[in-house]
Structure 1
Amino acid sequence: MTRIVIIGGGPGGYEAALVAAQLGADVTVVERDGPGGACVLTDCVPSKTLIATSTRMAVMSESERLGLRFSGGPDGIVGGLEADMAVVNKRVKDLARAQSFDVAERLAYEEVKIVRGAARLVEPHVVAVGDRRMQADIVLLATGATPRVLPGAEPDGERILNWRQLYDLPALPSDLIVVGSGVTGAELAGAYLSLGSKVTLVSSRDRILPSEDADAASVLQDVFLRRGMNVMSRSRAAGVERSGDGVVVTLEDGTKVEGSHCLMTVGMIPNTAGIGLEDVGVRCDSRGFVEVDKVSRTSVPHIYAAGDCTGVLMLASVAGMQGRIAMWHALGEAVQPLKLGWVSSNIFTDPEVASVGVTQQMVDAAEVNARTVMLPLFTNARAKMQGFEDGFVKLFCRPSTGIVLGGVIVAPRASELILGVSVAVQQHLTVEQVAHTFAVYPSLSGSITEASRRLMTEHAY
């Protein structure tokens, strides 16, 4: 029986463990924090739970145009909405623990052993947890990553925070400064804005979400500004310090921004230091990410790696797929290498931003020859009925064959809508095939088939 030790119990680790156990291996998962890892306990699951509440708040707050208003205030005054953060944060943490329990139960059902603690490779085939030594024929590194700390802006867990410390706050931040306008910064800035905080977003670039589709980022920034967010573009934070009951963020140009709390979202660093990688010959890049090939192998043949510690698209879905591919390959199963062009991703803002395949930047740079159509969401009948005005569906296809190459969707629940485009990309469907597929009327997904019809008729191939 093949002995497999997996270091890390997040999606990359527990998904790999399930595959390996089902293929008959003897599997042990070493996890420091608990089943599900940081993804379940402190990162993805908690943040998306909080965002679910904030999205509901935003929809209700903007529902007057649908003929709704809130009553029940004193003396007949129309009342409003407010977030009870004690209840919200308790729900966030309870749900994270429940999800961790579900992961543990599933692993136990497959007879995967779980060892609590910090692991280290002491020999190529030996993993140590404290004084315990475990022999391994195969090792999978799934150690994840940790919020990057900006020198001069070290979190204190009270006023200067990273996103893992938000859910211990006793009340809603009255005036939140978010440093960093990438995915995490945009998601949480939007969430706290909807929950009722005054929010300032400090962006070092000329727009939010600088690595995403420019049209999508523009829509989202317009929504943030309309809802009252202060977006400070081309502003880089030099330091953050406590000031009485608040904080002061100092920018590189000397400008000072005052608030009640500061949330730092300035990237991630891999958890690869001090676990013996250099001692056994596992190569890492200059930033500390483990180097892997398309079947998750490291520079040491029997050692694999998956998830955020590899720096390959830091998404839970990618981590899970990397882990599964690693085990299929290690145990001699047929396996298809990871194809990043098939990976769909989503930004859980309101509206959401989902994408897959070819990007606008690739088309504009002439890296890919593609025809493009962008269909505004406000032309969709269901969107009109629900009062959604912000967003679009964008599709890319090959000029000669009409094969769908990718797409971007900005809409409520774009994370659910993108699946149809993902299937089209992975199965090499043409816009004609998508256009001839029945969509419910009225539905937001109808914009995908409509965009396909536009490509089919306006750009004959």
Structure 2
Amino acid sequence: MTRAQSRHPDRVAIIGGGPGGYEAALVAAQLGARVTVVESAGPGGSAVLTDCVPSKTLIATAELMTEVEGANELGVLIGDGGVVVDLVRVNERVKRLALAQSVDIGSRLARDGIDVVRGRGRLESPERVVVERADGDTQVLEADAVLVATGAAPRTLASAQPDGERILTWEQVYDLTEEPSRMIVVGSGVTGAEFASAYNALGIDVVLVSSRDRVLPGEDADAAEVLEDVLIRRGMTVLGRSRMESVVRHGDSVTVTLTDGRTVEGSHCLLALGSVPNTDGLGLEEAGVALDERGFVTVDRVSRTTARGVYAAGDCTGVLMLASVAAMQGRIAMWHFLGDAVSPLDLKKVSSNVFTAPEIATVGWSQQAVDAGEIAAEVVMLPLSGNPRAKMQGVRDGFVKLFARPGTGIVVGGVVVGPRASELIHPVSLAVAESLTADQVAQAFTVYPSNSGSIAEAARRLHRG
């Protein structure tokens, strides 16, 4: 019997209705708690309304254009007019789907008896949340546990202020009413690379400004090299080792000035400079919740903060900015508080994906960790160009890479680069999560022909008799 079932219902207040918040709410309600979610934007939060769902919807259109690009090779002839993208219609669909997803989440919360309050919440104490409601009223929530899941916002600089028209954050691009003639993307991390790849596939001239040696400096180096080569081959201009100093608008154009004095002219500029946590004005430190030097909430592996009864989940913790991690942190918090079985968060079992073309999916230990001697592992990498299904599909770029422990052969990590890598990484994730050996992976049947066959082939090559 859980704690919630043994006496009166526990009262749970959740500040933030994104993946960390609404998934936690569903778990808490399932375990018998009385749950209230406070959200200013709407069910799903910014992840659903302005961030993850909209960006991946835009990218879905870009994926179609990427496939069309190779149609001739597959014997599909497209007329002289080619295929034209109507960016306004694309953005209308993006916003429509985001809103529909938010409505679906709100309906699910209502079905489970969860109260949703539109407004902004702050901690008056670890047991008390004050809500400034959207209707102007103030509401006080007494709580046995509080979950802070307020997310993060796009980082901006004084020298590069977005105006929502020509200089944009990734939350503002869906209001574009004209197709950019030249989009300058500043920042080559995951967000910058995804948008640059998407707009490039949509037929827009893109310049990617990267302060590092290569795109995606935090990802597998072999994967990043494949992506950069593909982007350049498709006509993108990639400016490496180029740090932005300022962005200025001049009427219908923008000028990006680099620290070495060079300038880049375009019609629009997308700022992808990272994120800052939404933790100001929440009364966190006054309630005993510690923040790090960047303002992120400090949490342990079961989502506890330094204040008793206060948990935190999602991007406001800075642990790993993925919707899947936010959701798991929220679930773990409620399982822990309500006395259900719980396993601490293990980041080495998290699979992630960069939604570029090709996609880059990873899980477990990385090549960088192997090279640095943090873990001993044998590595096998197979190019997809040798896979029969990939040949049929006209896929030339990409690979499968597996890491396995010497001796035991246990799979501890993997990388997949190619179309739908986000789907193809799942068998590797299962292997890592369940400590399967390369032999066990190799001996599971795969469909012939299939891209997943390359995972089994890589595992076979890790066999040691």
TM-score, normalised to structure 2, is 0.97
* Contact 1:380/1:447, CA 8 A, preserved across alignment: yes
- Distance in 2 (CA, whole Å) between partners of 1:251 and 1:150 is 14
Structure 2 residue 289 is matched with structure 1 residue 282:
yes
1:273-316 Cα distance to aligned partner (Å, 9 max, x none): 11100111100000000000000000012000000000011000
In structure 2, what is the Cα distance between the partners aligned to 1:225 and 1:62? 16
Which residue matches 1:197? Answer: 204
Separation in structure 2 between the aligned mates of residue 219 and residue 69 of structure 1, nearest angstrom: 27
Q: Deviations over 1:240-275 (max 9, x none)?
A: 001231000000111110000000000000000111
> In the alignment, which residue of structure 2 is the partner of 1:441?
448
Counterpart-to-counterpart distance in 1, 2:84 and 2:365: 41
Aligned residue for 2:228?
A: 221
Contact 2:36 / 2:114 at 8 angstroms: preserved in 1? Answer: yes
- Mapped partners of 2:22, 2:251: distance in 1: 44
* Structure 1 runs, 4 residues or longer, greater than 6 Å off: none
- 2:73 corresponds in structure 1 to 65
State the secondary structure of the residue aligned to 1:389: coil
2:150 to 122, 140, 143: 143
1:349 and 2:351 correspond: no
Give the Cα–Cα distance (whole angstroms) in 1 for the partners of residues 126 and 408 of structure 2.
50
Which amino acid counterpart does residue 422 of structure 2 have in structure 1? S
CA distance in 2, matches of 1:96, 1:405: 36
Does residue 394 (structure 1) correspond to residue 394 (structure 2)? The answer is: no
Which amino acid is the alignment partner of residue 245 of structure 1?
Answer: D
Deviation at 1:68, TM superposition (A): 1.8
Equivalent residue, structure 2, for 1:34: 42
What is residue 261 of structure 1 aligned with on the other side? 268
Residue 183 (str. 1) matches residue 159 (str. 2):
no
SS in 2 for 1:292: coil
Query: 2:417, 2:107 → 1: CA distance?
Result: 36
Q: Is 2:126–2:308's contact at 8 Å kept on the other side of the alignment? A: no
Match of 2:86 among 63, 84, 87: 84
Name the counterpart of 1:242. 249
What whole-Å deviation, never above 9, does each CA across 1:335-361 have from its counterpart, x for those lacking one? 100000000000000110000001000
Q: Equivalents in 2 of 1:81, 1:151: separation in Å?
A: 40
1:448 partner amino acid: I
| TM-superposed deviation, 1:61 | 1.6
In the alignment, the residues of structure 1 paired with residue 221 and residue 69 of structure 2 have an alpha-carbon distance, to the nearest angstrom, of 27
| Conserved? CA contact 2:296–2:316, under 8 Å | yes
Whole-angstrom distance in 2 between the partners of 1:226 and 1:69: 22
Query: What corresponds to 2:20 in structure 1?
Result: 12
Asked if 1:167 corresponds to 2:174, the answer is: yes
Deviation at 1:123, TM superposition (A): 2.0
Q: Once the two structures are superposed, what CA deviation does each residue of 1:3-52 show, in whole Å capped at 9, x if it has no partner?
A: 00000000000000000001000000000000000000000000000000
- Structure 1 position 86, deviation (Å): 1.8
Q: Kindly provide the CA deviation profile for residues 343-381 of structure 1, in whole angstroms up to 9, marking residues without a partner as x.
A: 000000011000000100000001100000000010000
Pick from 392, 404, 416 the counterpart of residue 409 of structure 1: 416
Q: Could you tell me how far 1:124 is from its partner in structure 2?
A: 2.1
Task: Find 2:258's aligned residue among 243, 251, 255.
Answer: 251
- CA deviations 1:112-151 (Å, max 9, x no partner) are 0000001111122111112211101100000000000022
Structure 2 residue identity aligned to 1:123: S
Indicate whether 1:43 and 2:51 are aligned: yes
Q: State the Cα distance separating 1:82 from its structure 2 match.
A: 1.3
Does 2:328 align with 1:321?
yes
- Aligned length in residues: 452
Mapped partners of 1:54, 1:263: distance in 2? 17
1:111 correspondence with 2:118 = no
One-letter amino acid of the structure 2 residue matched with residue 28 of structure 1: T
Does the Cα contact within 8 Å between 1:176 and 1:263 map onto a contact in 2?
yes
- Residue identity in the other structure for 1:6: I
Contact 1:61 1:81 survives alignment (8 Å): no
Q: Aligned letter for 1:65? A: E
Q: Deviations over 1:384-441 (max 9, x none)?
A: 0000100000000011110001100001000001000000011111111111110000
Identity of aligned residues (%): 64
Correspondent of 1:24 among 32, 48, 56: 32
User: What residue ranges of structure 1 are gaps of 5+ in the alignment?
Assistant: 72-77
